[in-house]
Amino acid sequence: MVMGQAQMTFAQTANKSLDGWTLLGTRTVDYTLDRDVVSITDRQFFTELKFIVKNGTLNMHKCTVHFADGDTKDISFSDAVNKTNDGRILDLKGSNRTIEKVTFWYDTKKDSNNKSIVELWGKK
């Protein structure tokens, strides 16, 4: 029973930390170099992006945010990303931050037994 309460508390805490955030897309990452695009079909104005990694550890080589006005923003990640150090928030500075798509170049770290899952979240 204590374990069930702990799991419920964790789930409530995790959900609470995503209040105000919209899930924009989820991708499963292969072990080899992979390129994925999350297209934002309902192009909305977002002020921040958040990346959440589940399962394995991720080598993020490059990430580019493509805006509706043609502008792009490259995001760099200095370390491997996993569930203990993900949740990085990117502030989208500027007046027109309507996102068209986000392109990722990454792979699941070889010493991981599980493929990484990446979630992209946006905040208005």
Domain extents for the chain? 21-123
Average pLDDT on 84-93 reads 75
pLDDT at 120: 92
Q: What percent of the chain has pLDDT over 70?
A: 78
Q: Rounded to an integer, what is the distance from CA 68 to the centroid of its chain?
A: 19
Q: Which position has the higher pLDDT, 27 or 55?
A: 27
- Has residue 6 got a pLDDT over 80? no
What digits encode the pLDDT tens for the residues 93-123? Answer: 776 678 999 998 988 877 667 788 889 999 8
CB burial string 30-53: b at 16+ within 10 A, e below: eeeebebebebeeeeebeebbbbb
- Has residue 32 got a pLDDT over 60? yes
Q: Give phi and psi for 13, each to the nearest 5.
A: -65, -45
Count the neighbouring beta carbons within 10 Å of the beta carbon of residue 73: 17
Which amino acid, residue 52? Answer: I
CATH, domain range 21-123: 2.60.120
Region label for 94, one of left (φ > 0), alpha (ψ between -120 and 50) or beta (otherwise): left
Reduced to 3 states (helix: H, G, I; strand: E, B; else coil), residue 12 is helix
- Has residue 13 got a pLDDT over 70? no
